[in-house]
Amino acid sequence: MLVADDSAAARALIRGILEADPGLEVVGQATDGLEAVALAGRLEPDVITMDVEMPGVDGLEATRQIMATVPRPIVLVSAVFAPDLDNSFRALEAGAVTLLEKPNGPGSPAFAREAAELVATVKLMAGVKLVRRSAPRSAASPPAGIVPADRRTDPLRVVAIAASTGGPPAIAHILRALPADWSVPVLVVQHIGAGFDVGLVRYLDDACLLPVSLARPGREVSGGGVHICPAEQHLGVTADRRLTVTPGEPIEGYRPSANQLFRSVAAAYGPRAAGVVLTGMGRDGADGLFALRQAGGFAIAQDQATSTVYGMPRQALLRGATDEVLPVEDIAAALVARAAGPGATE
């Protein structure tokens, strides 16, 4: 592992956390982005933990240079304040694989959880294949046969999207390819740490032509806006098609829960819903997407080739919860085709 951070205390903390696990070894430490780029080329670490705000060459620029020259899985370890937050999401777009909040010291009540999350994430990312980002494809020309003919009898009235590791750039890819006159609401569950949800909204709002906001309880689900589930909350829809945002306990280990979103959308919209499971670790979303498909909705999973982590999509596929398995660049086109299909006006 390579640890890049301009703070000596932060480097020591992260190194101590990682090397407390017998399966991990820190082979180098960088004090700024320029040194991180040099050490990445010389040491070829399995994973790099990267601070975002550093003097000179910052973590964003270092990520760009490393991904262009000696691609390695990069775990961003960031504060949750601007400009760290905005640059963190730009670094995800540039190829970093995931984003964690910088851990507090051993005296913090959250230290054990944060340390365990960092170790688990670094171990998982060590085995991640790097995905080459492709340019967004126009949503005007969907690939032939992308939507099964026998499942196109109802107009699309809502899209629910769920993602985890690698999700923000994948979500942005889809939203960016939707047309400016897109009139179907999009509900998004992204597994993300507390404090990062505001940055996610800003990042996605900048990335697409549609208005993006944090979901608000009681808001009517209408129009072409994008509603992001707040961190540590659950997002759903009522029978009269209004948003619910609730704290609650984790559902099947996840908060926010993709299963909760998909199940509520299935109950409220049935065949007028589309569900999309994107890149991420774990199996959240598989059962909920199955319920949505059973209700007649259109169910999509991202394919393995374009997924940073092929966990959630794979579980949806194994569950029999998908109509289509698509590369991320084809998903917007599939949604547009469904929205424009037979019976698309009420």
The residues annotated with a catalytic role in the active site are: 164, 191, 284
What token pair was written down for 299? 């169910």
From the list 254, 244, 257, 161, the residue with the least C-alpha distance to 210 is 161
Instruction: Tell me which H or E stretch contains 66.
Output: helix 59-69
DSSP state of 149: G
| Cα–Cα distance for residue pair 91/4, rounded to 1 Å | 14
| Backbone φ, ψ for residue 289 (5° rounding) | -65, -35
What token pair was written down for 303? 């394919």
| Backbone φ, ψ for residue 125 (5° rounding) | -70, -25
From the list 243, 113, 133, the residue with the least C-alpha distance to 189 is 243
66, 37 in Cβ contact below 8 A? yes
C-alpha distances in angstroms, 180 versus 21, 204, 211, 224, 336?
49, 14, 10, 9, 12
What token pair was written down for 172? 């942005």
| Cα–Cα distance for residue pair 245/227, rounded to 1 Å | 11
What token pair was written down for 264? 């509520």
| Cα–Cα distance for residue pair 161/300, rounded to 1 Å | 9
| Cα–Cα distance for residue pair 295/266, rounded to 1 Å | 6
- One-letter amino acid at 16 equals G
Give the 3-state secondary structure of residue 205. Answer: helix
